[in-house]
Amino acid sequence: MNSAAAFIAVDWGTSNARFALCDHGGQALEIRQGPGAVASRGSFAGIFDAQTAGWRATHGPLPAYLCGMVGSKAGWIEAPYLPAPCDLQAIASAPARVRDGVFVVPGVRCTNPLGAPDLMRGEETQLLGASCSGILGEALHIVCLPGTHTKWATISGGRLVDFLTTPTGELFAALCNHTVLVQDNGLPATHSEAGFGRGLAQSAVHRGLLLHQLFQARSLRLDGQLAHDGAASWMSGLLIGADVNGALSVLADRDPRGSVTIIGAPALTALYARALAQAGRESVEVDGATATIAGLAQVFRQQEPQRS
């Protein structure tokens, strides 16, 4: 009966939601896309019911486990933040109850390696899933979770030690859409291999001078050295390179040589893998959507005995 539907897993992030009907083993039987937490504000219950009504009609009152910004102050319910350092398994023990059979995984807070408060919601579930899948191992280890707000986590013996957030994706979008640095003629931001490679190389030449290099996205274009449609990719290479170089310098005392695990969307983990390679680091790429479902499946397995 492993292929029978057992629970609903929902990755409800800022911009997108992904609803998955899963079996006991955490295999997704069906997947649906829905609106993100910002667009769902004030309507989480209605959207959840509409997205899952068919599944519940067919399979009965399946429990649902949710993670991501759905658990923020502007979400469906404000789930707590667990303080790190913490065992990744502790995340599975502490879901917040929204209503009967619907639970939101807690986020995690910490004091980051720069001494500032830091926060995550959603990535903790991916770390839990990767850990349960045996990907992270026991040794002290750096994990990169790239995205709108990239996280650089340190994991050791199944524990999340701390993490550092770099808003690399959000900065990239703001620079592309709202400055003259990348676009001044409304050209589309298409990926350019040449542009990305050149921006990435530039990030290694003048480390720690990101702000002082940004204008090159414009001046290289005006000088004819960079194609107009390569500016966004150049900026992506510069930002990802600066993100990786800076994070590795901050975390140099943690794991100075080991392979870095990158968990996220494949198109993005590939770009981070290239930046890590430029910095002399091997990496292993893990699909973020799969890791999220694996994490929510672990929450289901840990919670289910308590429910039945």
Residue 277 near its own copies by CB under 8 A: no
Select 139 or 209, whichever has its Cβ closest to its own copies: 209
Residue with tokens 């003629």: 185
**Residue 246 main-chain phi, psi, to 5 deg:** -70, -45
Residue 15 near its own copies by CB under 8 A: no
Residue 242 near its own copies by CB under 8 A: yes
Q: C-beta of 118: minimal distance to its own copies in Å?
A: 5
Residue 227 near its own copies by CB under 8 A: no
Measured distance CA(211)–CA(179) in Å, rounded: 14
Select 168 or 303, whichever has its Cβ closest to its own copies: 168
Given candidates 243, 268, 286, 300, which one binds its own copies under the rule CB under 8 A?
243
Residue 222 near its own copies by CB under 8 A: yes
| Residue list 151-180, contact with its own copies (CB under 8 A) | 164-168, 170-171, 173-175, 177-180
Select 226 or 297, whichever has its Cβ closest to its own copies: 226
Q: C-beta of 206: minimal distance to its own copies in Å?
A: 6
Q: C-beta of 35: minimal distance to its own copies in Å?
A: 17
Residue 307 near its own copies by CB under 8 A: no
Residue 80 near its own copies by CB under 8 A: no
Q: Which residues pair with 120 in a beta bridge?
A: 108
Question: Rg of the chain over CA atoms, in angstroms?
Answer: 20
Given candidates 40, 125, 213, 269, which one binds its own copies under the rule CB under 8 A?
213
Residue 260 near its own copies by CB under 8 A: no
Closest CA to 254 of 182, 160, 133: 160
Applying CB under 8 A, which residues contact its own copies?
A: 74, 114-119, 149, 164-168, 170-171, 173-175, 177-181, 184, 205-216, 218-220, 222-223, 225, 239, 242-243, 246-247, 249-250
